[in-house]
Structure 1
Amino acid sequence: MAKITFLECVMCGHKQPYVPFAASKCEQCDSQWLEARYDYSAFKREILRGLPGRPFNLWRYKDILPLEDGKALDLYPAGGTPLWLSQRYAPALGHAQVYIKDERYGPTSSFKDRQAAVGVAAMVEAGIKEAVIASTGNAAVAYAAACARAGVKLWVFMTSLVPQEKLREAALFGAEVIRVSGNYDQTKQIAAQFAQRRQLFLDRGANSIPARESMKTIAYEIVEQLGWRSPDWYIQAVSGGLGPLGVYQGFKELLDMGLIDKIPKLAVIQTEGCAPMVKAFRAGKDIATPVIPDTCIIILSTGDPGSTYTGLWQLTQRYGGTMESVTDAEAFAAMRSLAQSEGMA
């Protein structure tokens, strides 16, 4: 594993020590956008050697993940998912070279398994025995599974709109599941209040360094699977936006190490019934105005993306990109088309 050398503020460049699970905030300008820095020269040497003897999962890139002594932990496997060249779906739309990163191969079939693997490992290293998380579904199940293996008691707060199977799945792994009659943003507030009253650790999603760092392993895998080449575009449907925010940290590190020659353009996709990022992007604003979600796709129902949107907006301004919304009907039609053309569902 690797010890973070320091945290650097993207806004003002201030450097400060990394304190596990402390509030991610710049001491100089109060910005919440801090990036972890590691010994990249040593890691680059390992990459050039072919990363010998390492499994193909996210721990393959342990040198740039925020754990000091992974050997002392029973690390939860995640990542190492296939990258498929679309054979029928994308060509039918007029695109010959579209690759699909298939995160169904994770322990609970979601890219949130990466977040849970690194986040829970960091909890164990910090001696945390009990934690609280608010989720629209996938993160709750991923954390419940990882916490079960690590022996960490987990309290999961989910809106009552989340499908029953997600609630049951989280409970199956032993998590204490609390249903909240409200939207996801209200659920997050209630979870935070509960954690504060009981003095428990609260996972803060995009504001957590371990959570955000976990997502950059997607970029490392994609580049390695493409023969150490960068794609032209990276496209992801988002709710709160943690995924691409972390992924682009990986692309930036790879560029800085000279392992790729460009950063891909970013496309953020939201459902029209919950598209605060898209609305702000189209208006040319760097801050998103919260909305009340009105969508059947509950896992994409974060009405207030907060500073995460600002980070993603800055990425599009620096590297190029766009933010677009689709209706629920269009999203379901695309899901059916992908299932029938590529066998992915």
Structure 2
Amino acid sequence: MGNRFDLRCEGCGYSLPKEKLMGLASSSSCPSCDRALLNAQYDLRGDRFLDWKSQLLHRKGSLWRYWELLPITAWETVVTFGEGWTPLIPLPKFGRSIGLENLYFKDERQGPTATFKDRQATVAISYLKEQGINRIVLASTGNVAIAYSAYAARGGIQVYAFFPAGVASAKIKEASLYGAKVMAVEGTYDEAKAAAARFASDQGFFLDQGIKTFAGVESMKTMGFEIAEQLGWRSPDWYVQGVSGGMGPVGVAKGFKELKTLGLVDKIPALGLIQSAGCAPIANSFHRRETQVSTVASPDTSIATLATGNPGLAYNLLKQHLDRDGGDCAIVTDAEAWEMVQTLATTEGILVEPATAVTFAGVVKLAQQGMIQPQETVVINCSGREKDVHSLSF
């Protein structure tokens, strides 16, 4: 591969060239100012991408078809199950019921472990393997631990996964089956993250911060690449996702930004950010026009995957995008989400995880409020399938 990329700080502008990446922890913090995100930057000039669209026509259906814009320097270290290139499926029936003419969902349920976290896992584990890291510690509400454990097993890396209270036992068991060493924390997701950080520090193991790392952000931009390509090289008007920590849409927006720089699309879509009523720091802070996020000390939602009370830097990045390129936030109750799970199953034949149901319910609200116009093209991140139907609350 031999990809040329630098890591650049969004805050102070510090740049770390590829030659100094070896041994660098995949941290979200700049080693110079320790207060902003390290962002992977690629050379998009010159002749390298002139015939990129033509080249893509002959590549396999995997997110690695976009390898020139991913932070890996050697193909032999890539750990993959062929993830990505998930279908973009129209929803004319559901769309008409809520007054939207061009509604699609990106079906991430079809990934190797049935959630969009497979994207994050393949890029992050491949990067860590390239760095020679063989033990990683993480905190998870289920999907990240499952995806990372599967890819880590394939890549020869040991995972230590910390789970907060309320995570379905089926998800913990699945991560364990892949060989992860699991630890249960009697507390919130934020408390599980703190426990994981202490353990990693005490043991001298690598602490993976998931989507907040540059590898996680880079993985999510491939969803933007795929959506644009599947729409005939155009951007949707809206990209909508249920958010917890919030960095996923940051990555998707980065993908569209790079495509716009390359002249392959004409705009960056507006973001629809949907949160649970019991833990909505991003949505509430944005609606109050706050410059810094107001955290939620004690999340009160049964949807564990959306229970991040402190999104940190993600709020500032998302607010910048919303202010610059448009979009809005919506808040959905747990009861509305559970009702949507059943509605989608009985009307469209798709079974989704609660975090996706929150997203669909949020689209309904944004359409009813007139934020999303009837003729606009809307893409929903169908983030995953519910793996334990016994955990659903009807």
The alpha carbon displacement at 1:282 in A equals: 1.0
CA apart distance, 1:196: 0.6
Q: Which residue of 2 aligns with 1:38?
A: 42
Which of 204, 207, 210 lines up with 2:215 in the alignment? Answer: 210
Structure 2 counterpart of 1:56: 61
How far has the Cα of 1:29 moved from its partner?
5.2
* Residue number among 178, 187, 212 corresponding to 1:173 in the alignment: 178
Change (3 A) 1:28 1:143: closer
Query: TM-score w.r.t. structure 1 length?
Result: 0.95
The question of 1:16 aligning with 2:16 is answered yes
2:257 is aligned to 252
Is contact 2:295–2:309 with CA below 8 Å preserved after alignment? yes
Q: Is residue 88–residue 106 contact of structure 2 (8 Å, CA) maintained in 1?
A: yes
Q: Is the 8 A contact 2:90 2:105 kept in 1?
A: yes
Q: For residues 149-187 of structure 1, give each alpha carbon's deviation from its aligned partner in whole angstroms, at most 9, with x where no partner exists.
A: 111111110012101111111111111111100000000
Q: Shift in Å at residue 111 of structure 1?
A: 0.4
In 2 relative to 1, CA 125–28 (structure 1 residues): closer, same or farther, beyond 3 Å? closer
Instruction: Classify the secondary structure of the residue corresponding to 1:49.
Output: helix
1:90 matched to 2:95: yes
Displacement of 1:299: 1.0
Runs of 4+ more than 6 Å apart: none
Is the Cα contact below 8 Å between 1:130 and 1:200 reproduced in 2?
Answer: yes
- Secondary structure at 1:178 match in 2: strand
What TM-score do the two structures reach when normalised by structure 2? 0.84
Alignment partner for residue 325 of structure 1, among 316, 331, 336? 331
Matches within 5 A, 1:119-138: 119-138=124-143
Which SS does the other structure have where 2:170 is aligned?
helix
Q: How does 1:69-80 map to 2 (within 5 A)?
A: 69-80=74-85
Summarize deviations over 1:118-177 as a string: whole Å, max 9, x none. Answer: 000111111111111101111111101111111111111001210111111111111111
Equivalent residue for 2:322, pick from 311, 316, 327:
316
The match for 2:233 is 228
Of the candidates 277, 280, 286, which is equivalent to residue 282 of structure 2?
Answer: 277
Q: Is the 8 A contact 1:2 1:65 kept in 2?
A: no
CA distance 1:299–1:69, shift in 2 (3 Å): same
Q: Distance in 2 between matches of 1:85 and 1:324?
A: 22
8 Å CA contact retained: 1:81, 1:103: yes
Change (3 A) 1:198 1:335: same
Task: Show CA shifts across 1:276-312 (max 9, x none).
Answer: 1111101101321211110011111111111111111
In structure 2, C-alpha distance between the alignment counterparts of 1:122 and 1:60, rounded to whole Å: 17
Find the counterpart in structure 2 of residue 335 from structure 1. 341
Structure 1: which amino acid aligns with 2:181? E
**Do the aligned partners of 1:130 and 1:153 also contact (CA within 8 Å) in 2?**
yes
2:10 is the counterpart of 1:5: no
Where structure 1 has 5 or more consecutive residues not aligned to the other structure, the ranges are none
CA drift at 1:5: 2.5
Distance 2:77 2:166 in 1: 39
Residue type of the alignment partner of 2:313: S
**TM-fit CA distance, 1:52:** 4.6
- Given that 2:233 and 2:264 are in contact with CA atoms closer than 8 Å, whether structure 1 keeps it comes out as yes
- Structure 2: distance between partners of 1:74 and 1:48: 25
Q: Which residue of 2 aligns with 1:302?
A: 308
Whole-Å Cα distance in 1 between the matches of residues 253 and 163 of structure 2? 28
Q: Superposition RMSD on alpha carbons, in Å?
A: 1.7
Q: CA deviation at 1:259?
A: 0.6
Whole-angstrom CA distance in 2 between matches of 1:191 and 1:31: 21
Q: Given the superposition, is the C-alpha separation of residues 149 and 329 from structure 1 closer, same or farther in structure 2, using an over 3 Å criterion? A: same
* CA-CA distance at 1:17 after TM superposition: 2.4
User: Structure 2: how far apart are the matches of 1:73 and 1:100?
Assistant: 28
Aligned-partner Cα distance in 1 for 2:328–2:33? 28
| Deviates most, 19-28 or 250-259 | 19-28
Q: Is the Cα–Cα contact under 8 Å of residues 78 and 106 in structure 1 kept in the other structure?
A: yes
Counterpart of 1:159 in structure 2 is 164
State yes or no: 1:140 paired with 2:145: yes
Distance apart, 1:30 and its partner CA:
4.5
Q: What is the CA–CA distance in structure 1 between the aligned matches of 2:38 and 2:83, rounded to whole Å?
A: 25
Kindly provide the CA deviation profile for residues 199-256 of structure 1, in whole angstroms up to 9, marking residues without a partner as x: 0011112331111100000000000000001000010001111210111110100111
Equivalent AA in structure 2 for residue 3 of structure 1: N
| Residues 57 and 78, structure 1, Cα contact 8 Å, conserved in 2 | yes
Is 1:110–2:115 an aligned residue pair?
yes
Superimposed CA distance per residue, residues 27-46 of structure 1 (whole angstroms, 9 cap, x where no aligned partner):
66544133211132455234
Deviation at 1:13, TM superposition (A): 4.2
C-alpha distance in 2 between matches for 1:70 and 1:46? 21
Hey, what's the Cα distance between the residues in 2 that align with 1:311 and 1:169?
33
Distance 1:119 1:301 in 2: 23
Quick one: structure 1 residues 72 and 157, their matched pair in 2 at CA, closer, same or farther if it must change by over 3 Å? closer
Separation in 2, partners of 1:2, 1:343:
44
Query: Could you say what secondary structure the match of 1:273 adopts?
Result: coil
